[in-house]
Amino acid sequence: QGNISEASQWAGLLTFAYAIMQFICAPIVGNLSDKYGRRPVLLLSLLGFGIDYIFLSMAPTIWWLFVGRLIAGLFGASFTTATAYIADISTPENRAKNFGMIGAAFGLGFIIGPGIGGLLGEFGPRVPFMAAAILTFLNLIYGYFVLPESLAKEHRRPFEWKRANPLGSLIQLKKYKGVGGLIVSLIFVYIAGHAVQSTWTFFNIEKFQWSNTLMGISLTVIGLLIAIVQGGLIRYINPRLGDEKSIYVGLGLYSLGLFLFSFATEGWMMFVFLIPYCLGGIAGPALQSIISGNVPRNEQGELQGALTSLMSATSIVGPLLMTNLFAWFTRPEGDIKFAGAPFFAGAILMLISAVVAARSMKKEAFLNRKTIHDKEPINPVQ
């Protein structure tokens, strides 16, 4: 029998294993989809995910779970191909809206997944994994018969290892002026987001002594608000504001929400402050829209691989930064008590992200270059 401290340590290691594998593999998967198309890579990834869930359901020891998370990190890089698929089928006018649908899907999954997993867990710890495997194989069957290819053969290009690694993919993107600055802006957004992802539970227990029930309700509200904003409101907000203004408004709302979290004095305030924070979700899809719109069609896999790799890296750095900030400012012997320190730091990072994005867009006049994605690709597969 272990204890909660040991369980949290293993959970951290399992999360790290997934993130580091995704960091390494995302550029490879993205470049493979640039050569062979999005459909086969997505279907193979789903097959791998299904097999991995079966593997996890039969894991006899914690070390098998560790291996399973490494495998999941490999096939989890399929997120790269999914975003490249969206870039392929999107126009400049609906690109941000379509990227927002990914956030909406995650939001709904955030609501539905834990609930179903908890219910199935009553029948045994292995049952949720088997259910996940069944759902994944059903998704694979659906994709095989319904999902069309989005990248025509004339838009594909050869696979090269110099591009199919985290460093190489980023170096290649330097040829698109200004894109690097927006990617840096996105990195700040990812890191800042871990203030909520990594310390929400700790903060509300420390500050307001929330029960498990109230914590569960708050997480459900977060998922619901994310789904509403990125699956619904963004369809009306982004076309009216445009990508550039959506970035500024979204990052401003993100920063405001985090700032308010950090100084909340009553538990109910956290629910109210979730509104500006979740409305800030219009910024991420708008940033992705401008970035993908300035990269040719046959390099979308490489681009999305680089972005997924960076997102995985921030999944390592972000939690370490935010949880250690929380620990430092809540330690019993500390002179300064400020449980909201991670939220305050996140608010500052969001403002820095806005400044970086503004400098990049002003320098390169991105809004006049959104058609690069639709031009003829360079270096197509012969």
Count how many domains the chain has. 1
Mean pLDDT of 365-380: 48
Contact 115, 4 (CB under 8 A): no
Cα separation, 194 vs 179, in Å, equals: 23
Query: Residue 24 contacts by C-beta under 8 Å, 6 or more apart in sequence?
Result: 165, 166, 309
Asked if the structure places residue 231 within a domain, the reply is: yes
Asked if the structure places residue 94 within a domain, the reply is: yes
pLDDT tens digits along 85-107: 988 888 877 888 888 888 788 77
Mean pLDDT of 370-377: 49
The three-point CA angle 252-197-179 to 5° equals: 50
Asked if the structure places residue 382 within a domain, the reply is: no
What is the pLDDT, as a whole number, of residue 29? Answer: 85
% of the chain exceeding 70 in pLDDT? 89
pLDDT tens digits along 144-192: 999 999 988 888 888 888 778 877 777 776 766 667 788 889 999 999 9
What CATH number does residue 125 fall under? Answer: 1.20.1250.20
Asked if the structure places residue 379 within a domain, the reply is: no
For all residues of the chain together, what is the average pLDDT?
84
Of 323, 329, 336, 14, give the one whose Cα is nearest residue 195.
323
Residues in the chain: 382
Domain ranges, residue 315: 4-153+162-368
pLDDT tens digits along 242-265: 989 999 999 999 999 999 999 999
What is the pLDDT, as a whole number, of residue 9? Answer: 52
Give the CA distances from residue 6 to residues 11, 62, 212, 327, in Å, rounded to whole numbers and listed in that order: 9, 12, 20, 17
What is the pLDDT, as a whole number, of residue 347? Answer: 98
Query: Residue 100 contacts by C-beta under 8 Å, 6 or more apart in sequence?
Result: 229, 230, 231, 234, 235, 238, 281, 282, 285
Q: DSSP H helical segments within the chain, as ranges?
A: 4-36, 38-57, 62-76, 78-89, 95-121, 127-146, 166-173, 179-208, 212-228, 234-262, 267-279, 283-293, 300-330, 341-364
What is the pLDDT, as a whole number, of residue 120? Answer: 87
pLDDT tens digits along 21-32: 888 888 888 888
pLDDT-based confidence at 3, cuts 50/70/90? very low
Asked if the structure places residue 380 within a domain, the reply is: no
